């Protein structure tokens, strides 16, 4: 279980990116975090694994307080948080296999990892995951040879091989076409279900979020302004999150569920 | 830059009138300085020597031909020395340049306040002195010979390699580094997985490029007694043995062509 208490982030420039956010995500729940650009979605996710240092507040993962950890303890806890990025953030010049295995770095000593001597169990798991996402044949290809959708699948494998208890997913579909976006979202949600993983998914595409998740949280200027089921998202709520606009299209599309792209 | 209204239509020009005048003035001043310098050089030239030049050059050229091919057997050893000075000097320089580059790059330095300036100072001081001058100093300090040349090449190359390398480190894609850090990887693992693969092409390019330069530089180090083929060149020049000079120059040319070819191959293979 992941719990945020009064999580606040003030950047050096004085921007209040997060204003005392409280949030609780039970085991196995996939949560979509929506909100306009600059609302603090990325900051919130990054404050959890402390790629961004929160200014105050607490983050608890399965009872462990993360914000006060020293650097080596933080590294140990980071192993339990898989992260998936918007631009995939694969190491472009390494192979798919190396990229997947890099998810095990927290468990393997420096020299073993430097010489690429990962334990056979890790290699087995990497092959299993690549098979699961349909990229087994690509294991030996260099990451920069893959298409966007394939890269994001590798990113998913890298996060899952950590054997995490929570997934932090930052705009997983923003660089993908509508069809691939759906496939990637479906894959993430399925994998979370299989493994009983909690996940926070930052997402621009409201319709896509409604299609796949059980719970939606709306962030606006660093504060939570909506927390509820996808069905509860109506024009009022969207206006509260994003500001005034004609939202009828966005909501309709969810009902019809036949158009490829929404926002 | 300059938007004005003429007859009701908006007109855009690259510069407004003041800007245009400034550019003209700069050209005027630049041309004047050039002409004045030309005049100074012309006044300081002994024209008799200058008009003489083609005849002298033709004379030396005539004496230098044909090259004295038989001298070749005395050149193999110094040529090998030259190659070794360039290669080992580059390797030595790279070994020192890599840590300096990591300390100098803004995104990897442990302390931008204290350590980065020291690293930058190392880079600047190594770069500011020509390897011939380093060799001159080192011949005095550690005595004449190959070793002085090797160290001179190494010292001169540290700054060059470290500067290009730290610029490459600063240009890496941070999101890849972030992704590796997010897996719980340690500091050195982040370097090995997040940073190293990204700078490998730059590293390979810089190494062969510098090796290429060093091969050329090491051919002249002998002039100051730091070993290599330059020693033979100086000896031949001093004794006016022009056929030997031409042979050495041909040899240097060949060596440089070969090094160009090797570095092109290496760069092609790694990128």
Least Cα separation, residue A78 to chain B (angstroms): 5
How far is it, in rounded angstroms, from Cα B131 to Cα B153?
6
How far is it, in rounded angstroms, from Cα B259 to Cα B173?
32
How far is it, in rounded angstroms, from Cα B150 to Cα B148?
5
Query: Sorting pLDDT into bands at 50, 70 and 90, what band is A261?
Result: very low
Boundaries of domain holding A34: 21-52+71-256
pLDDT given for residue B133 in this prediction: 85
The size of chain A, in residues, is 263
Q: Is residue A262 scored above 60 in pLDDT?
A: no
Least Cα separation, residue A179 to chain B (angstroms): 25
Query: Each residue of B250-261: pLDDT tens digit?
Result: 888 888 888 888
Question: Between A51, A93, A155, which is nearest B178 by CB?
Answer: A51
Site of tokens 């890298």: A158
The CATH number given to whatever domain includes residue A214 is: 3.40.50.300
pLDDT given for residue B271 in this prediction: 65
How far is it, in rounded angstroms, from Cα B227 to Cα B132?
12
Provide the mean pLDDT of chain A. Answer: 87
How far is it, in rounded angstroms, from Cα B74 to Cα B61?
22
Site of tokens 């693992």: B189
C-alpha to C-alpha distances, A114 to A76, A101, A165, nearest whole angstrom:
19, 12, 26
% of chain A residues with pLDDT over 90: 34
pLDDT given for residue A260 in this prediction: 45
Give this prediction's pTM: 0.78
How far is it, in rounded angstroms, from Cα B105 to Cα B112?
9
What mean pLDDT do residues B181-203 have?
90
What mean pLDDT do residues A174-186 have?
88
pLDDT given for residue B237 in this prediction: 83
Nearest residue on chain B to A48, alpha-carbon basis: B182
pLDDT given for residue A263 in this prediction: 41
Please check whether residue A107 lies inside any domain of the structure. Answer: yes
Please check whether residue A108 lies inside any domain of the structure. Answer: yes
Please check whether residue A57 lies inside any domain of the structure. Answer: no
* B184 neighbourhood in chain A, CB within 8 Å: 75-79, 105-107, 162
How far is it, in rounded angstroms, from Cα B238 to Cα B8?
78
Whether residue A90 lies within 8 A of chain B, CB to CB, comes out as yes
Please check whether residue A47 lies inside any domain of the structure. Answer: yes
Question: Between A81, A89, A93, which is nearest B175 by CB?
Answer: A89
Site of tokens 């606040």: A8
Query: Sorting pLDDT into bands at 50, 70 and 90, what band is B1?
Result: low
C-alpha to C-alpha distances, B54 to B46, B62, B65, nearest whole angstrom:
15, 12, 16
- Tell me which of A58 and B112 has the higher pLDDT: A58
Please check whether residue A167 lies inside any domain of the structure. Answer: yes
Q: Is residue A96 scored above 90 in pLDDT?
A: yes
Query: Each residue of B13-54: pLDDT tens digit?
Result: 888 888 889 999 999 999 999 999 999 998 888 888 888 888
B182/A78 CB distance under 8 A: yes
Q: How many of the other CB atoms lie within 10 Å of CB of B223?
A: 16
Number of domains in chain A: 1
- Tell me which of B78 and A257 has the higher pLDDT: B78
Site of tokens 């897996």: B183
Please check whether residue A10 lies inside any domain of the structure. Answer: no
Please check whether residue A199 lies inside any domain of the structure. Answer: yes
Whether residue B203 lies within 8 A of chain A, CB to CB, comes out as no
Please check whether residue A5 lies inside any domain of the structure. Answer: no
Query: Sorting pLDDT into bands at 50, 70 and 90, what band is A120?
Result: very high
- Give domain B72-270's CATH architecture: Orthogonal Bundle (1.10)
């Amino acid at each position: 279980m992941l719990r945020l208490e009064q999580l606040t982030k003030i950047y050096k420039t004085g921007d209040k990116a997060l204003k005392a956010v409280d949030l609780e995500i039970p085991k196995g729940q996939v949560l979509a975090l929506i909100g306009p650009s600059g609302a603090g979605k990325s900051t919130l996710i990054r404050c959890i694994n402390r790629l961004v240092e929160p200014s105050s507040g607490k983050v608890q993962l399965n009872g462990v307080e993360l914000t006060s950890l020293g650097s080596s303890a933080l590294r140990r806890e980071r192993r339990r948080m898989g992260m998936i990025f918007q631009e995939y953030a694969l190491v472009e010049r390494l192979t798919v296999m190396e990229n997947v295995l890099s998810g095990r770095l927290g468990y393997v000593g420096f020299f073993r990892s430097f010489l690429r001597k990962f334990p056979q169990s890790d290699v087995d798991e990497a092959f299993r995951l690549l098979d699961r996402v349909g990229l087994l044949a690509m294991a030996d290809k260099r990451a920069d040879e893959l298409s966007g959708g394939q890269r994001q699948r590798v990113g998913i494998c890298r996060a899952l091989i950590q054997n995490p208890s929570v997934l932090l997913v930052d705009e997983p579909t923003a660089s993908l076409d509508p069809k691939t976006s759906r496939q990637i979202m479906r894959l993430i949600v399925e994998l979370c279900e299989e493994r009983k993983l909690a996940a926070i998914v930052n997402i621009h595409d409201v319709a896509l979020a409604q299609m796949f998740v059980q719970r939606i949280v709306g962030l606006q200027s660093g504060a939570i302004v909506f927390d509820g089921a996808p069905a509860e998202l109506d024009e009022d709520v969207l206006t509260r999150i994003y500001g005034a606009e004609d939202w009828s299209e966005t909501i309709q599309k969810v009902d019809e569920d036949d158009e490829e792209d929404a926002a | 830059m300059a938007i004005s209204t003429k007859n009701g239509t908006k007109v855009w020009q690259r510069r407004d009138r003041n800007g245009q005048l400034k550019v003209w003035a700069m050209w005027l001043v630049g041309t004047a300085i050039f002409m004045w310098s030309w005049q100074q050089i012309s006044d300081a030239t002994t024209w008799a020597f200058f008009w003489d030049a083609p005849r002298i050059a033709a004379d030396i050229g005539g004496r230098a031909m044909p090259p004295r091919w038989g001298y070749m057997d005395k050149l193999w050893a110094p040529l090998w020395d030259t190659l070794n000075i360039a290669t080992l000097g580059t390797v030595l320089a790279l070994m020192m340049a890599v840590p300096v580059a990591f300390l100098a790059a803004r995104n990897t330095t442990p302390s931008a306040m204290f350590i980065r300036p020291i690293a930058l100072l190392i880079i600047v001081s190594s770069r500011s002195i020509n390897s011939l001058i380093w060799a001159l100093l080192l011949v005095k300090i550690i005595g004449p010979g190959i070793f002085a040349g090797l160290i001179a090449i190494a010292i001169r190359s540290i700054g060059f390699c470290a500067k290009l390398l730290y610029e490459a480190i600063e240009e890496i894609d941070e999101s890849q580094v972030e992704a590796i850090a997010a897996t719980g990887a340690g500091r050195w693992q982040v370097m090995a997985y997040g940073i190293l693969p990204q700078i490998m092409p730059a590293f390979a390019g810089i190494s062969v490029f510098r090796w290429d330069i060093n091969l050329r530089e090491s051919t002249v180090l002998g002039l100051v007694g730091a070993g290599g083929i330059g020693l033979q060149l100086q000896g031949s020049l001093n004794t006016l043995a022009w056929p030997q000079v031409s042979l050495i120059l041909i040899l240097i040319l060949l060596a440089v062509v070969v090094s160009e070819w090797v570095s092109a191959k290496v760069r092609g293979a790694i990128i």
